[in-house]
A and B are shown apart, each in its own frame.
Chain A
């Protein structure tokens, strides 16, 4: 099992550009999450999904969108990048009531 994979590992965007962060899991987990990690702030939940076709907002959803067309994939879309979106982004997945499995992260810089 590859677990949770994320691409790209690093990205630099200009203000106003858009991009999609990819996340794939091969563990047949129904729950998937997107977090951002800022220094000294822990992880903040952006969006989550309880299964294919179902998504919901987390704590900090503004400026982001997600979709979940399959169990395996949960891409995160940034439409108009802003400097405040400079962060490290983690995707995670789990079964109900279990620990989360995290991807290696995407380091995004918006200049």
Chain B
């Protein structure tokens, strides 16, 4: 069965420092991989995706993610965190008929 794992429930970083939110996947075939962000009492919002092509994907709000096929990972990164980046982040992977979401990682950026 396909699955996506986010090994960290919580990530804390100081404002201005780089951040990484980890994601690993077990998806058959060529994976479609996504990152979404969720703010309180809101639906998920798309950040970026990997379908094919360059392993480094750039997305909204300065976020980027690196697809690593050998490690089956798709970690989310940002060079300099903002307090406003504090939110719940979800990794997702699969295809249109079977998209699996990770359990989510709560990112807290402290001033």
Residues of A within 8 A of B (CB): 4, 31, 33, 35, 40-45, 48, 50, 56, 90, 92, 94, 96-105
Q: Are B42 and A50 in contact (CB under 8 A)?
A: no
For chain A, what secondary structure do more than half of its interface residues adopt (helix, strand, loop), or is it mixed? strand
Q: Are A99 and B46 in contact (CB under 8 A)?
A: yes
Q: Are B44 and A90 in contact (CB under 8 A)?
A: yes
**Closest CB pairs A-B (n = 10):** A102-B43, A99-B46, A43-B101, A42-B103, A42-B101, A102-B44, A104-B43, A31-B96, A103-B43, A42-B104
* Complexed CA–CA distance, A50 and B95 (Å): 12
| Closest Cβ neighbor of B1 among chain A residues | A59
Partner of B90, one of A43, A92, A96, A98: A43
Q: Which residues of B contact A98 (CB under 8 A)?
A: 49
Known: A90-B43, A102-B43, A103-B43. A50 touches B97 (CB 8 A): yes
Interface members, chain B 38-90 (any A CB < 8 Å):
41-46, 49, 51, 90
| Closest Cβ neighbor of B59 among chain A residues | A99
* Complexed CA–CA distance, A46 and B103 (Å): 16
Known: A50-B96, A56-B97, A94-B96. A101 touches B103 (CB 8 A): no
Q: Which residues of B contact A35 (CB under 8 A)?
A: 101
Q: Are B102 and A42 in contact (CB under 8 A)?
A: yes
Known: A42-B90, A42-B101, A42-B104. A105 touches B43 (CB 8 A): yes
* Complexed CA–CA distance, A102 and B46 (Å): 9
B9 at interface by CB-CB < 8 Å: yes
Q: Are A99 and B49 in contact (CB under 8 A)?
A: yes
Interface members, chain B 1-17 (any A CB < 8 Å):
6, 9
Known: A42-B102, A43-B90. A96 touches B96 (CB 8 A): yes
Jot down 16 A-B pairs with beta carbons below 8 A, ordered by A.
Answer: A40-B103, A42-B90, A44-B101, A48-B97, A50-B97, A90-B43, A94-B96, A96-B96, A97-B96, A98-B49, A99-B34, A102-B43, A102-B45, A103-B43, A104-B42, A105-B42
